[in-house]
Amino acid sequence: MRMALDSGPLITAAEAQRQLRLHHQRVQKFRAEKRMRLQRMLFQGVHRIFIFLLGATLVASIIARRNEIDALTRKKANQVVAHVQTKTEVADPLRQNALSYEQEVDEASK
Q: E-assigned strands of 46-103?
A: none
Per-residue model confidence as pLDDT tens digits over 67-104: 999 999 999 998 888 887 777 666 677 777 787 878 88
Per-residue model confidence as pLDDT tens digits over 35-68: 999 999 999 999 999 999 999 999 999 999 999 9
Residue 3 β-bridge partners:
11
Strand 2-4 to 10-12 pairing? antiparallel
The distance between the two most distant Cα atoms of the chain, rounded to a whole number of Å, is: 148
Whole-angstrom distance, CA of residue 19 vs CA of residue 9? 14
